[in-house]
Structures are given as structure tokens and as C-alpha cells.
Structure 1
Amino acid sequence: MSDRKVTDDQIIEALKLHTMPKAAEHLGIHIRTLRKRKSALARKGWSPEHDLTHAVPDGFHLKGASTLYKDGVQVMQWVKSSIDHERQRELMIAACQAMSEDLPQIDPVSGPISTLANLMAVYPIGDAHIGMRAWGEETQGDSWDMTEAVRVQCGAMAALVDLAPAAEQAVIINLGDWFHADNMEGMTSRSGHIMDLDGRYAKMISVGMKVMRQCIASALKKHATVRVINVVGNHDDTGALWMSVALRHTYENEPRVIIDRAPAAFHYIEHGKVLIGTHHGHTCKSERLPGVMAADQSEAWGRTKYRYWYLGHVHHQSVKEYAGVTVESFNTLTAKDAYAAFGGYRAQQNMKCIVMHSEFGEVSRHTVSPDMLKEVAA
């Protein structure tokens, strides 16, 4: 019996009946492996030599335990647990991979006849917040729902692809908070804030996937390869993870689409002398990002001359140049919700395409706003 097939329950039963060496022999694993597994079980609450006999569920770890004894006999015990965030992330990714196996897959489509190898078109999408609902009279702006999100997000991407040169590479960067909420309750996972949602969570998933697939389809018409990066945001910690897994399966038969698979807070893109880092912006301040890039990408740092950080989160544009790196945050196409309106936030709404030259860095950019799309619709 190999280690990966041995469950916690099997280990507990074996240790109840046998000594450590006999239990390892019975389970068919090395005794050192068994000791490591037993230590892990102790962290989860199972350590009978300390009167701890009930392990907490997978995805949690033991926070503390209080035991009441009377005349040396255990009378009552209180077991306190807390969320094991790293383990829950592992379980979420495994579940997403299992569920995505039944999703339909996209067949390859014909690419452009010719492209420019030295150019890369970057499409940063700031905080789409798909699933958000806003009432214009309350927010003193435009009303917003999922129907409007599809029209504006898909329309802006199509318009930007039309404006962009036929760069060989395209990179679609979802800068985080693609989804407005992270669970069936319509709340964020980290803070527990209740969001204004347009419809059910299942509908939000369907619309969010539809919008991203349409963005990819638009980019495939002009660019030879399309890379997609889904940055983890504070509104969609798990949403960004399962969307990457689902998209990777959906485009498994399309070699022109590359879905970044790392469930990381920071992602990097290298194109000739250009290095781009992406992050949502909620866990690391801007002034620390140059050092993060230098540490994470030391070799790429030495190879490149033009370095950029692209961020979301704040919904407004800001550009600051540090030694060796420019840090930029991006606007969102989405209208402001009640929280933003009551807080006095009044950023512009737009989306950009940034054209990178492999030798000279950024050489041009194009901007599309929701008002421009209204003119097209009219």
C-alpha cells in the first residue's frame, strides 16, 4: 500500500491496534513516513497519548483543546479548530480539476495569416466585478447588472482588438475581482462583506465564464497566441482558482491558448527586454513590488530593461516610476456600486490595450470607455 493511498482513518485504525513499527508494516509504508503522518494528525487533533482522540475535518487544524478531569478521569473536552487556508486551497484546486473533466472543450480555430513577432498586445482588465448590481439613482451614475457587464466587457475587448496591431502574442490579464462575490451567500471570503448581487451565484459563474471566453475569442482573431492570467483578488479568492482550472480544460485542444496554472499571488510575463509583473494589489504595497520582482525574477531582471507592475484593486489609474520598475494600477469598466458611491470614489471607467515591443518596451496604448461603446450601439 503506497503512502498516497493511505488515508488518515486507516492510519488511526492501524495505530490503535499496533505499535508504530507493526503499523508501518501493516500499512506498507516506511516508519519515518508514518511518524510524519502521525505528527500531522496531532496538528489536526488526534494524539491519544495526550487524550486527544478526535481529529478535526480536513481543511482545518487544531487551534487548542481544553479537558476537564475529575479524579484523574476525563469528563469533558472542548476542541477548538481554525481554518487551514493552505489545505483548503489545495482541496479547492483538486475539486476544480475533478469537476472540469466533464466540461466541453473548444476545438482549434484558424489564426491570423501574419503577425508581428516583436510585438505583444497586453489587455489588462481591471476589477470586472461580474455579478454586481448597482442602481443608478442611488449611485449617481449608471445602473449595472450582468447584462450590462456582458455588453460592456465583451464590447470593449472586441474594440481594443480592432485597434491593436497584429501582435504575435496577446496577454489577457484579469487583474483580480473578476467575480463580485466568492460563495453562495454572496460574500467575500476574507472579510465576510455582503455584496449587492444581480442574481444567483450560479448565474454569476455562467456569465463570468461567457465573458472571458468571448474575450479570448476576440483575441484569437488577430493574435497567434493568447495567454490568460487570472490574478487572485480579494473578492474572488477561490473564483480565480477554479476559473483557471476550468479554462485550462476548456482550451486543452487549442494550442494557441495558454492558461496560467499557478495559484499564485504574483505572475510574470517576459517578452524580449520587457518584464511584466501582475498582482491584484491587496496584499502588497506598491513600494515593495520592485523588490518582490527583483527577488522572484532575478535572472529575468538581469535580461530585461523595461519592467512594469500591473495592478487592480483600487479602480483608479495611478502610475509611479521606481528605480528600474514602473508600477501602474488600472481603471475598471464597471460602474460604481453603492459602497463606492457612498465612499466618494469617482474614478473613470475604461479598459486599455498596451503594445509592448521586445526591444523598446511600451510603444503605444489604446483606451476604450463605456461611453464609446454606447456610440457604437447607437
Structure 2
Amino acid sequence: MARQYDPRLREFADAREISFLEAIEKHGKPTHAAKALGLHHSVVIRALDNLERRAAKMGYSPAHDMTHTVPDGFRVKGTSTLYDEDGKPRMQWVKSTVDHDRMEVIMREAAAAMAESLPRVRPVAVPAKTDAALCNVYTLTDSHVGMLASAKETLDADWDLKIAERTLTAAFCHMVNAAPKASVGMVAQLGDWLHSDGSGGLLPITPQHGHVLDQDGRFSKIVSTSIRILRRIVDFALERHDKVVVLLAEGNHDMASSIWLRAMFAALYENEPRVQVIDSALPYYVYQHGKTMLAFHHGHMKKNSDLPLLFASQFPKVWGDTTKRYCSTGHRHHVEEKEHSGMTVIQHPTLAARDAYAARGGWLSERSATAITYHSQYGQVARNTVVPEMFEAA
């Protein structure tokens, strides 16, 4: 007897799976459908098995009395069904949770659509004279724009949207002015740029674990401030460098927001040939400057000691073409620098104040940001550091 497929599976199918279902309707059996499509029957059967599993995750599996589906971006976490004495379902409870993989796809599609209507930045004049051998990397990590912190509560410093905007903008401008006149300037935003991700119905919670965060204002206000800061930073870098490389890395606080930030800035500077936005879904990033390899990761997925081997494995061509290799990370809010086999891993601190959670946990770190200058042949050749006290209002 030919295997039957529920017509409602079309609601959960992609174009390829729909073509398989239509072929089965026309030819009767999966084997006959596969032959008509020029495929082995196992390809069709496996694809439709995956479709049935995916539909079940969204709450649809009639064979198991599951017919209550959940919205796109969610998956069924569990069902509880009450049956009567005749074995018929009388009541059913459906528990759902966010499907993070599907939500990421939705975010990417939304960001791409939003970017289509953005006004593009016009090209600006190239700076007079720069050193082609140099690349300045301006690292800002764990900035937590939108965080609310009180010095009275943390015994550290205040932090809110206004302070974040003033501190981050001033710190970046100071680093650029103090650094050598390099041809390449890299805005290395290493993740956790936003304190909260706007997930959970725009609630101030962490994306993965749902921890409640201290947030300064509504998410829409945080987004507008965040974009304004980054725009100023990139525009200022363009005034001083022939080429500006923009990295907007994924952090554990802004896993979704990093997606639309990358899409937005790639669209904004689409007509500016001197801006390169690194657009990678993988949270491991590289940029090659001559014989110098510059690698980046927020630090939330791998230990520092594991990063050299990971980057060598994932980017073997860049690794093989370079003799000086550096990896920058953040996440832990304090300084650590260590040479490993073939690569130096630099863990950067943050300019942001600590919040109540960090204060109650007893975590302390010196606040600063560092610009590092790399030579195309010799690797790291200069540094300059800023601290937030340099930009406090008089």
C-alpha cells in the first residue's frame, strides 16, 4: 500500500518539499514520484520524513492527536492530552518555546527587507596621506548600550544611554586621533553592544536564559541611540582612513540585534566603496592585513585557549598566508593576553560600568578600551589606551 501524506503538510513545506508532495499526488507512490523527478526514492522519502518532523515541532502530527500549531518562530515544547473512557481526546495543553534557529532566519529576512528602503550614505573625501602598511584596530566590546547602573548600588559608576553615548563616542574619537595615520581603520565592535536584545516581547531579558536586566528606557530608544553612536564612529573613521572595516559581532546579549545591525550598516554604506562591513552568520571573524591575521570572537562560545586551533581549522588559507596572528575577544570584561601555538589571544576589557548583577557577584575589572596598530609584515607595532574618566563631564 502506498504511503499517504497529509495535505496539510504543505503549510510547513518549502518549495522543494511541495514539489515532492505534488509528484506523489500525481504518480501515486514516492518511488514513482522520485523516478519522474529523476531522483532516488530515498531522497524524496527522507525529505518528507524531515517535513513531518518539522511539522510535529510546530504542533502538527495528527497520528499523535496533535493538531494545534504554534506561530512561525516557535516550536512545541510539549503536549498533554486528556482522553475520555473511549480513548478520544477531550482536552489538550500545548506548551511552546522560541525556535532560535528559525527566529534567526526570520530576523535575517526582516533585516534584509528593512535595509532595502534605507537611504544610502554618500561617499566622502579620502584623507590626504596615510601609511599603506598600517591597520588600526579600534576595539569596543561589551559596551552594553541601554544598561542602567547606579554608582550608589554598584560602588563603581553610573551608566545609562546618555553616558554610554558620550563615553563611547569620545573614546573612539580620542583613539583615532592618537593612533598613527593608517590606511586601514577597523571598527571592531566585539559583541554585547546592546545590553538587551529586544526578545521576549521587547522585555529586558537575556536571549538564551531569560535573566532580567536593568534597562534604561524602551527598546526603541536604545536602538536609535545605538545606531547614532555607530554612525558617528564609522563616519569619523572614514575621515581618517582610506578604508574602514566594520565588524559588528554577535554577543550573548545581542544575538538577534547583531543580525539587523550588520544588515543595516551594509545597506547604509552600500554606495561608499571605502567601507567594508563583515557580514558573517558565523560568530568567528577574520580580516587579513598582508602577512598579519586578525581574528575576532566575542568569547561566549569558546575558551580563549581553544580559539587558535579553531581559527586555523576554519580559515586555513588565511592562517597559511600569514606569519603574525592575533585574536581579539571580550565577554569577560577584563584584560588577559596570552601567546598560544601560532596566535596571540587578546581579551579586551570594557568601557561600560558594571551593573547590579556584576556588583552583587563581586566581579571587578578596570574599564578601558585599546586601539592596536598592526603592520602588514611585522604584526603589532603600537597601542594606545583610553579610560572612561578621561571623558567624564566636568
TM-score range, shorter chain: 0.7 to 0.9
For 1:10 and 1:229, locate their aligned partners in 2 and report how far apart those are by CA, in whole Å.
35
Distance, in Å, in 2 between the alignment partners of 1:24 and 1:112 is: 67
Alpha-carbon distance in 2 for matches of 1:10, 1:131 = 37
Work out the number of aligned pairs and report it: 366
TM-score (norm 1): 0.88
Distance 1:24 1:187, change over 3 A: farther
Task: String of CA shifts for 1:145-184, please: whole Å, max 9, x gaps.
Answer: 1111111100011111111122111111111100011112
Q: Which of 11, 21, 24 is residue 21 of structure 1 equivalent to?
A: 24
In 2, Cα distance between equivalents of 1:95 and 1:211 = 22
Instruction: Decide which moves more: 117-126 or 339-348.
Output: 339-348
What's the TM-score once normalised by structure 2's chain length?
0.84
**Is 1:299 matched up with 2:314?**
no
Q: What's the % identity of the aligned pairs?
A: 38
CA contact (8 A) 1:177 1:234 kept: yes
Write the deviation string for residues 208-255 of structure 1: whole angstroms up to 9, x where unpaired. 111111110111111011111111111111111111111111111111
Residues 55-75 of structure 1 deviation map (CA, whole Å, 9 limit, x = unaligned):
443223455556547546555
Provide the C-alpha distance between the structure 2 equivalents of 1:255 and 1:276, rounded to a whole number of angstroms: 21
Q: Deviations over 1:103-133 (max 9, x none)?
A: 2221111121222111111111121100111
> Mean alpha-carbon deviation: is it higher for 222-231 or for 61-70?
61-70
Inter-partner Cα distance in structure 1 for 2:12 and 2:254 = 35
- Of 288, 313, 316 in structure 1, the residue corresponding to residue 331 of structure 2 is 313
Q: Is residue 12–residue 51 contact of structure 2 (8 Å, CA) maintained in 1?
A: no
Q: Which runs of 5+ in 2 are unaligned?
A: 1-7
- Mean Cα displacement is larger for which, 73-82 or 128-137? 73-82
Measured in 2, the distance between the counterparts of 1:235 and 1:219 equals 26
Judged with a 3 Å threshold, the aligned counterparts in structure 2 of structure 1 residues 33 and 294 are, in CA distance, closer, same or farther, namely same
1:122 aligned to 2:137?
yes
1:1-378 aligned at under 5 Å gives the runs 8-9=10-11, 21-22=24-25, 36=47, 39-45=50-56, 46-49=60-63, 51-63=65-77, 68=83, 70-71=85-86, 73-77=88-92, 79=94, 81-183=96-198, 184-374=202-392
Q: Helix, strand or coil: the match of 1:117?
A: strand
**Structure-2 change in CA distance of 1:35 and 1:301 (3 Å):** closer
Change beyond 3 A, Cα 1:33–1:158: farther
Relative to structure 1, the CA distance from residue 35 to residue 119 in structure 2 (aligned partners, 3 Å threshold; closer, same or farther) is same
The C-alpha deviation readout for 1:34-77, integer Å capped at 9, x for no partner, is 97256324322234455544444322345555654754655555
How has the CA–CA distance of structure 1 residues 81 and 370 changed in structure 2, closer, same or farther, with 3 Å as cutoff? Answer: closer
What are structure 1's unaligned runs of at least 5 residues? 1-5
TM-aligned CA distance change 1:71 to 1:7, over 3 Å? closer
Sort the Cα spacing of 1:63 and 1:20 in 2 relative to 1 into closer, same or farther, 3 A. farther
**What's the C-alpha RMSD, in Å, of the aligned pairs?**
2.9
* Cα distance between partner residues in 2 of 1:165 and 1:55: 59
